[in-house]
Amino acid sequence: MALTTTQTTDPVTIVEVSPRDGLQNEALLVSSDDKLALVGRMVAAGAGRIEVVSFVNPRRVPQMGDAEAVAAGLPEAPGVRFIGLCLNERGVARAIATQANPRPLDEAGCVLVASDTFGVANQGQTIADGITANTAMLKMAREAGLFAQVTISAAFGCPYEGPVPADRIVELAKRMADAGAQEIALADTIGVGVPNQVGDLTARVIEAIAPIPIRLHLHDTRGLAPANAWAGYQAGCRTFDSALGGLGGCPFAPGAAGNVGTEELLYLFGRSGIATGYDLETTLEANRWFAAIMGRELPSRAGKAGDFIARPIPTGAKS
């Protein structure tokens, strides 16, 4: 299918995932207080949706062992939507339980893996198992009043099986739409996609499930995530995941690098005249603050270089 491009400047929504996906693969266990401070800084930067926790077994992902504590400490943040990732019905039940908190979660993010081998490694589920489980999870979340969305993981390639057929992803998206998903994300979990592939698949899924919105979740393993985001935008996607500083990775996906950096997307879309709702300089300040928490410079290239600003010629330099 040929890539369909659109010449628009429609605004985009950028979902900040650094408190969850950004930290789940880190050796350093970031404290709950620092996670909540990170959430607060991203709210101040303009984030309208933030994935804050993952309700998983802490023995498998110890970085998410404080999910209830983080969820209990979320700020009021009017207009901001907070997301909890859920891999099974127990996870959805834990997300629903946050409704007793002063500031409950707004969304349950479910996950359907697009290959049997990776699905078993990541969640102990084949594709067929995942369809059954996610159908029940979406129903459970919606009945409890949570916005129920699902990410199709490894949509552009599996670390164990290699390329994943586009027809399979379109069919899985249809199945999740029929199951009641209110948004469907396509995840390049290991960062193998290229712009033409991302644009084509994005356009096909949009056509297959409209009017249900789609989202792109892109990892930058091979440096193509910003280009892939642009291809997705041209194909009609208007919502993208990213992580402050380009942090992230999956413990069960060998070779996967971090998410596309929030700074990268802010620079890409901002310089292209497309509104994001974020302030780049505030985001860069958050990057510098969190680098100190992590004890190292964060991977994002735009985070290191900053915005494009003309600077005075150094004294003594020849013009």
Active site residues: 250
For 164: left if phi > 0, alpha if psi spans -120 to 50, otherwise beta; the answer is: beta
Q: Which helix (H) or strand (E) holds 67?
A: helix 67-72
Q: Which helix (H) or strand (E) holds 206?
A: helix 195-209
State how far the Cα of 279 lies from the Cα of 79, in Å rounded to an integer: 16
State how far the Cα of 79 lies from the Cα of 216, in Å rounded to an integer: 22
Q: What is the DSSP string of 227-238?
A: HHHHHHHHTT--
The two structure tokens encoding residue 108: 């349950």
Contacts of 74 (CB under 8 A, 6+ apart): 36, 39, 52, 82, 101, 103, 105
Q: Is 247 exposed, middle or buried (0-12, 13-18, 19+ CB in 10 A)?
A: buried
Contact indicator for 230, 9 with CB cutoff of 8 Å: no
Q: Which helix (H) or strand (E) holds 304?
A: helix 301-305
